[in-house]
């Protein structure tokens, strides 16, 4: 099990990742844009959102740091753009954690199958901390 950090940006994700690759002397990663997402993602995108970064990641001192732009309908405020990500290979534990964390919080996306995970959920706990929970099936 690991808890990773996921950083969200308002359209400047590629620039931020390029900066961090230089700071930490890393190779430029691959980027997935929103328009490159599989059709089963069922996203309706306007032209401004298609070229935004949906996902990329860097290994920084052994930690997985994930990056993405948010679409224009969900802007983030700097300082509030960090999400904790729990990825484990036990569905029952993911469901248990999700149900405990959502108590008194706000569910943004209930646990469900997505094109990238057998089960994924997004919530903000009662203390204002955003969490992504991902069932990483083998």
| 32 is a domain residue | yes
Q: Is residue 127 part of a domain?
A: yes
Give the dihedral of Cα atoms 47, 29, 67, 16; nearest 10 deg.
Answer: -80
For residue 1, the enclosing domain spans 1-36+47-80
**Given this model, what pLDDT does residue 37 score?**
85
Provide the percentage of residues in the chain whose pLDDT is more than 90. 55
Average pLDDT rounded to a whole number, residues 86-114: 92
Confidence of residue 62 (pLDDT cuts 50, 70, 90): confident
Mean pLDDT value across the chain: 89
Asked if residue 57 lies in contact with residue 67, where contact means CB atoms within 8 angstroms, the answer is: yes
* CA 58 – CA 46 distance, rounded (Å): 28
For residues 113 and 64, state if they share a domain.
no
Q: Per mean pLDDT, which range of 25-34, 70-79, 117-126 is the poorest?
A: 70-79
Confidence (pLDDT) at 75: 79
**pLDDT tens for each residue of 19-60:** 999 988 999 999 999 999 887 666 777 888 899 999 999 998
Largest CA distance in the chain: 42
Checking if the pLDDT of 135 tops 80, the result is: yes
The answer to whether residues 10 and 68 belong to one domain is yes
Please tell me which residue, 62 or 107, carries the higher pLDDT value.
Answer: 107
Both 132 and 67 in one domain: the answer is no
Q: What is the CATH number of the domain that holds 109?
A: 3.30.720.110
Q: Do residue 73 and residue 97 come from a single domain? A: no
Mean pLDDT value across residues 93-119: 92
pLDDT at 102 over 90: yes
Query: Which two tokens mark 47?
Result: 């032209």
């Amino acid at each position: 099990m690991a808890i990773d950090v996921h950083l969200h940006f308002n359209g400047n994700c590629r620039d931020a990742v390029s900066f961090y690759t230089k700071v930490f002397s890393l190779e430029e990663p691959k980027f997935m844009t929103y328009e490159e997402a599989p059709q089963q993602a069922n996203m309706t995108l306007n032209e401004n959102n298609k070229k935004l970064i949906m996902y990329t990641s860097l290994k920084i001192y052994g930690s997985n740091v994930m990056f993405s732009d948010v679409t224009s309908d969900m802007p983030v405020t700097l300082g509030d753009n960090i999400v904790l990500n729990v990825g484990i290979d036990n569905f029952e534990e993911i469901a248990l954690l999700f149900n405990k964390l959502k108590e008194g919080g706000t569910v943004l996306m209930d646990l469900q199958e997505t094109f990238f995970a057998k089960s994924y959920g997004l919530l903000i706990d009662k203390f204002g901390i955003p969490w992504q929970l991902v069932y990483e099936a083998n």
